[in-house]
Amino acid sequence: MTEHDKLVRDRIPEVVRENDETPVTHVADGEEYRRRLREKLCEEAEEFREDGDPEELADVLEVVAAIRDATESDREELERLLEEKAEERGRFDDGVVLERVE
């Protein structure tokens, strides 16, 4: 038996059964679902940070989309906020590293 206690993609229980194992699951909803999505975002971002694999970046984007949907965030509003922050503080295009402030 292996403990996981984490949010997984919808078809993972099916994959587990195909491997002749028995998944024990429950469906998270409400605040638990939103909390587990935030945890999943950190998990996927860490995996991408470790190896830079584009598949991990795709997982990050999938989780971001799920968070947007779960919080009923308006895509246009998020785009507006993104642009507003870019205008105020810039983007990450130039690779600037702040080493210290003296």
More confident residue, 96 or 72: 96
72-90: per-residue pLDDT in tens? Answer: 888 899 999 999 999 999 9
pTM equals: 0.87
19-59: per-residue pLDDT in tens? Answer: 999 999 999 999 999 999 999 999 999 999 999 999 999 99
Q: What is the dihedral of CA 57, 82, 89, 49, to 10 degrees?
A: -10
pLDDT for residue 26: 97
* Cα-based distances in Å from 53 to 26, 29, 61, 88: 30, 30, 13, 31
* Domain positions in the chain: 28-75
